[in-house]
């Protein structure tokens, strides 16, 4: 992810006067869409928490946000940004659930300037319109490391492993292909879709795949993981770096597990 200038902005979730939305230069924030995100000037006093339920029936992976299995699952919403205040502030939500064998995620993004040039797993999908899930499936991130699953809007993935200090790895194309995935958009998208576009993305992460690389405390009542949810679009005409659990870092970086929130399994 490319570096971006640091700005401090006090925002609420809706609209602001110029005096309420200035960057550190004292200039008004750029005109844009509805204000959806705000700057985290300091680490949160309390960690963000999300409760992920157990689901039954090995659901079909079809990127349908409205289907019954997800209907009563509460979403996370990405409410913070990193770097300078983005003009384009997409609404980004995600839901998580589990069963005995897998973790399930579904994303919904109200977006525009949508791009998906990457067509092969392990490519730099974060340069496209991309959502990312970083997580530690056992213990504290500083002790156990973390995984980073990055997926562009057409379902192409980069899946990294950072569980051994100084020894970063990545899943192979074959391993990544074992994640059953569905997206509402088809790629490649070589020219930006400039119009407002809502896209959804759903996938199933086999727990056995994670266990190839790390100790995994399988989800269940009372089990806690650590993690964060992100949205980026590095090479679009409206780049942005959004996060669920706030990150008070001077430059955009998702590889900061000390800011991970808590995922509690029901």
- Supply the pLDDT for residue 64: 98
Query: What would the pLDDT profile of 13-26 be if each residue is shown by its tens digit?
Result: 333 222 223 333 23
Reported as a pLDDT band with limits 50, 70 and 90, residue 28 is very low
| 94 compared with 163, residue with greater pLDDT | 94
Question: How do 197-206 and 130-136 pair as beta strands?
Answer: unpaired
Q: Is the pLDDT reported for residue 34 higher than 90?
A: no
Beta strands in 23-156 (DSSP E): 38-39, 49-52, 76-77, 80-81, 91-98, 102-111, 114-116, 130-136, 146-152
Tens digits of residue pLDDT in 41-73: 777 777 899 999 999 988 999 999 999 999 999
CA distance 38 to 244: 11
pLDDT of 182 reads: 98
Residue pair 121/134 in contact by the 8 Å Cβ criterion: no
What gap in Å lies between CA 35 and CA 22, rounded to an integer?
A: 13
pLDDT of residue 40: 85
Residue appearing with tokens 């997409």? 90
Report which of 206, 200, 227, 209 is spatially closest to residue 106, judged by C-alpha positions. Answer: 200
Tell me which residue of 149, 195, 201 sits closest to 176, measured CA to CA: 149
| Per-residue confidence (pLDDT) for residue 32, from 0 to 100 | 55
The CATH code of domain 18-265 reads 2.60.40.1190
Residue 158 above 80 pLDDT? Answer: yes
**Residue 4 confidence (pLDDT) above 60:** no
DSSP 132-169: EEEEESSS-HHHH-EEEEEEETTS-EEEEEEEETTEEE
- Are the beta carbons of 103 and 204 closer than 8 angstroms? yes
- Read off the pLDDT of residues 74-113 as tens digits, 9 standing for 90 and up: 999 999 999 999 999 999 999 999 999 999 999 999 999 9
Mean local confidence (pLDDT), 144-156: 96
The more confident residue out of 123 and 20 is 123
Is the four-CA dihedral 114, 116, 117, 118 of positive or negative sign?
Answer: positive
User: pLDDT, tens digit, for every residue of 217-235?
Assistant: 999 999 999 999 999 999 9
Pairwise CA distance, residues 231 & 130, whole Å: 6
pLDDT band at 209 (very low <50, low <70, confident <90, very high): very high
User: Mind listing the pLDDT tens digit for each residue in 187-205?
Assistant: 999 999 999 999 999 999 9
CA dihedral (207, 212, 215, 218) in degrees, to 10, reads 10
Average pLDDT over residues 142-168: 91
Domain positions in the chain are: 18-265
- Over range 203-208, report the average pLDDT: 98
Among 178, 191, 182, residue whose Cα is nearest residue 116: 191
Per residue in 128-138, pLDDT (tens digit) is: 999 999 999 98
């Amino acid at each position: 992810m490319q570096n971006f200038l640091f700005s401090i902005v006090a925002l609420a979730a809706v609209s602001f006067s110029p005096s309420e939305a200035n960057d550190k230069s004292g200039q008004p924030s750029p005109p844009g869409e509805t204000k959806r995100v705000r700057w985290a000037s300091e680490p949160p006093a309390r960690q963000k928490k999300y409760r992920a339920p157990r689901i039954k029936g090995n659901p079909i992976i079809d990127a349908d946000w409205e289907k019954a299995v997800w209907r009563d699952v509460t979403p996370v919403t990405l409410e913070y940004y990193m770097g300078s205040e983005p003009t384009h502030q997409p609404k980004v939500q995600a839901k998580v659930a589990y069963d005995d064998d897998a973790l399930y995620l579904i994303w919904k993004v109200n977006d525009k300037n949508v791009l998906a040039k990457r067509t092969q797993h392990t490519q730099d999908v974060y340069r496209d319109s991309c959502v990312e899930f970083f997580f530690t499936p056992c213990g504290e991130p500083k002790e156990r490391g973390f995984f980073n699953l990055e997926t562009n809007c057409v379902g192409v993935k980069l899946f990294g492993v950072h569980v051994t200090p100084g020894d970063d790895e990545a899943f192979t194309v074959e391993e990544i292909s074992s994640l059953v995935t569905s997206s509402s958009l088809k790629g490649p998208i070589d020219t930006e879709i400039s119009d407002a576009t809502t896209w959804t993305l759903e996938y199933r992460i086999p727990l056995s795949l994670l266990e190839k690389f790390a100790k995994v405390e399988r989800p269940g009542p009372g089990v806690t993981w650590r993690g964060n949810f992100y949205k980026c679009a590095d090479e679009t005409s409206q780049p942005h770096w959004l996060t669920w659990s706030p990150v008070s870092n001077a430059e955009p970086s998702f590889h900061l597990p000390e800011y991970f929130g808590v995922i509690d399994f029901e």
